[in-house]
Structure 1
């Protein structure tokens, strides 16, 4: 009996043969078929376990996007929809990812292959707890029930000695920032080990809270060998840390799921390396598909790039990334969309105007550390920029009003950082 539960995927493909034929080859490769008939490949087996092409929409002829054994001048582009029996993978995230985004990228007859959307049955989503904290849990830990969440990265990101690192964390924590995080490159180097950073940062954050009354969350990067993942998590938690960070594309979805199984604090999901399988429009996996698996695996915060950023994604793509995180999925909490890469006072209004929501974490590295009046003014100016945007005022008018009230932080930030073109 054929399993009625289907995992439905949409792909963009290019082929030199009829797109329906190419899609059938993809479906067979990723389910019950191979390039020749083999003993035991019965009609019953194909009917029960074979993937099925349910739609093909030709998009015209284009130059091939990817190299292959032969290179025709023109190929046919198409959008194809393939349904996979859930029975083939069960509810295992690694198996599903292998099924829908595995060997198909290697097929020589495909001159482009990109997974653009994935629909998972309720039974699949319900089998995974998803984020434990998400937006609501993070806000509770930060004692910030409303308003944008402001964060930063320790800068310089690598190379700091212990006393230099302490000075950076101290200044940021005393600025009443919401989140400080390690850079993705900072894991457990000999010159500033994770254990040292945990000790120093928790000391400084506790001391700052006694003065400011504001709790600061620190996302300690515990990326590293899989065997030591639990030990590094426990090191953070036992010291009183309130967040851990994982480079998800580097460690993999299964590592994230493993961390979620014992994590006692929010998991900050970094996307370092994701663009290698996402940037080219003719290859890999679209963010909106990938984020579903990362959410089900348990990420509480997920990087989405940023509007007006230094990275490659256009603003409309970033907005689509954020919207995808805000779409309900399973029983888990809604994750925190985490904005990064070149964020400053000029991108606050862009973001609020596009989203109409402040349920985001804006990470500004240089936008805080490079403020001419220091990091505390950098944090304050970002909050002011968001307040101005929410109130419907222009950034320039808001900066002038703040300056008239005796605080030039926003005005100085407007002048210091380039407006988004």
Structure 2
């Protein structure tokens, strides 16, 4: 019987027994019944089985459970349910890893581009990339397009909509995308530098697909999506479209899954591995030292998950944002390395000489 392993960090609460907790996971994530009412056939074919257990201290254990591949049914939604369905409502269980190569090759497609293909497409051989977000919400489409032009003319590589800008009356989707595409083209004609614009398409699944198509038709270079709002399966669907566009994944609405060290999913698993499996070419995550709470070790682990050759998918560009300033880019470049997109916001907008000068300064640090 083909199986795949999920690794967990389990914290035993007062009054709990680790073996009973493991048994609970094995049953809860499969049959949702006690063994006493199961047939031998169902128990053998369906229920998860403990494959390893390591005690870390008085209350924490690293465990691995093997699950029948047939339980997934070649269905990403069911995989997510097995991964962290009912146990998401039980304290002390955190997902740490999956043995991706044990899953069917047809289940997850990974990024449609990946780092190597994007470098080839952008003509950027081995340096880190620069990026920013177009904001603030309330700016009209022409204003956002002008910002896009200024950042592109200054030499930025990746320019995306802010995740709060969707299809509001301030800047309707098609109008905004058209202005931004125009700004990218004008900057390229003027300077010879080609920047790449990513339109934000988060919406209901059917609407996100429609916006993806419109963005492609209007000439956008890629799309931005918040998979925990639009749906993780939606992102995977977009990554498999006949007209491929690179995808940036944004972590909005996901914080509750990653900020409790005794529950949820580890940041490197969610942002570095699962998003990559689901098709994100760029992985936005909150960098340490900003207004969010990840440690440098957690950020490094996300980067490793995005690029690790252990996963059977193309690699993704980690895209740290928050805590990044023009003044500390050399430090972060040395820390994170060239296979990174450095996403700056406030530090560029605060430049006394405007966005074009800010972009020129940042891009100069990375060349």
TM-score by length of 2: 0.92
Relative to structure 1, the CA distance from residue 169 to residue 121 in structure 2 (aligned partners, 3 Å threshold; closer, same or farther) is: closer
Relative to structure 1, the CA distance from residue 206 to residue 50 in structure 2 (aligned partners, 3 Å threshold; closer, same or farther) is: same
Matches of 1:307 and 1:382 in 2, distance apart?
Answer: 19
Larger radius of gyration: 1
The equivalences for 1:162-311 within 5 A come to: 162-262=141-241, 263-290=243-270, 291-311=272-292
SS at match of 2:24: helix
Tell whether the 8 Å contact from 2:142 to 2:179 is kept in structure 1 after alignment. no
Paired position in structure 1 for 2:305: 324
> Paired residue for 1:48, among 36, 45, 48?
45
CA drift of 1:307 comes to 4.3
Tell whether the 8 Å contact from 1:166 to 1:200 is kept in structure 2 after alignment. yes
CA drift of 1:34 comes to 1.7
1:33-89 CA-to-partner distances (Å, cap 9, x unmatched) read 424743xx211211111101223333444xxxxxxxxxxxxxx43332222111211
Tell whether the 8 Å contact from 2:201 to 2:224 is kept in structure 1 after alignment. yes
Matches of 2:95 and 2:144 in 1, distance apart?
Answer: 42
CA drift of 1:219 comes to 1.0
Paired position in structure 1 for 2:80: 97
SS at match of 2:109: coil
CA drift of 1:190 comes to 1.8
Paired position in structure 2 for 1:345: 326
SS at match of 2:92: strand
CA drift of 1:210 comes to 0.5
How many residues end up aligned between the 2 structures? 364
CA drift of 1:27 comes to 1.1
SS at match of 2:273: helix
Tell whether the 8 Å contact from 2:208 to 2:230 is kept in structure 1 after alignment. no
Relative to structure 1, the CA distance from residue 60 to residue 121 in structure 2 (aligned partners, 3 Å threshold; closer, same or farther) is: same
Tell whether the 8 Å contact from 1:11 to 1:79 is kept in structure 2 after alignment. yes
SS at match of 1:174: helix
Relative to structure 1, the CA distance from residue 60 to residue 331 in structure 2 (aligned partners, 3 Å threshold; closer, same or farther) is: closer
The equivalences for 1:386-401 within 5 A come to: 386=366
**1:364 lines up with 2:344 in the alignment:** yes
CA drift of 1:134 comes to 1.6
Matches of 2:10 and 2:163 in 1, distance apart?
Answer: 31
Matches of 2:324 and 2:44 in 1, distance apart?
Answer: 51
Compare 245-254 and 12-21 and name the one that shifted more.
Answer: 12-21
CA RMSD in angstroms comes to 2.0
CA drift of 1:268 comes to 1.0
Matches of 1:58 and 1:146 in 2, distance apart?
Answer: 42
> Paired residue for 1:148, among 128, 143, 156?
128
**1:12 lines up with 2:13 in the alignment:** no
Tell whether the 8 Å contact from 1:338 to 1:360 is kept in structure 2 after alignment. yes
- Give the gaps of 5 or more residues in structure 1: 62-75, 388-421
CA drift of 1:330 comes to 5.2
1:304-356 CA-to-partner distances (Å, cap 9, x unmatched) read 3224333210111101110111112555321111111131134323323323x
TM-score by length of 1: 0.81
SS at match of 1:192: coil
Relative to structure 1, the CA distance from residue 118 to residue 346 in structure 2 (aligned partners, 3 Å threshold; closer, same or farther) is: farther
Matches of 1:279 and 1:325 in 2, distance apart?
Answer: 19
- Give the gaps of 5 or more residues in structure 2: none
1:260-295 CA-to-partner distances (Å, cap 9, x unmatched) read 121521011111122111101111111222242322
Q: Which of the pair has the greater relative contact order for Cα pairs under 8 Å at 6+ separation?
A: 2
Matches of 2:41 and 2:35 in 1, distance apart?
Answer: 17
SS at match of 1:8: strand
Matches of 2:222 and 2:180 in 1, distance apart?
Answer: 12
Matches of 1:121 and 1:161 in 2, distance apart?
Answer: 46
Matches of 1:375 and 1:384 in 2, distance apart?
Answer: 14
Paired position in structure 1 for 2:293: 312
Relative to structure 1, the CA distance from residue 179 to residue 271 in structure 2 (aligned partners, 3 Å threshold; closer, same or farther) is: same
Tell whether the 8 Å contact from 2:196 to 2:221 is kept in structure 1 after alignment. yes
CA drift of 1:384 comes to 3.9
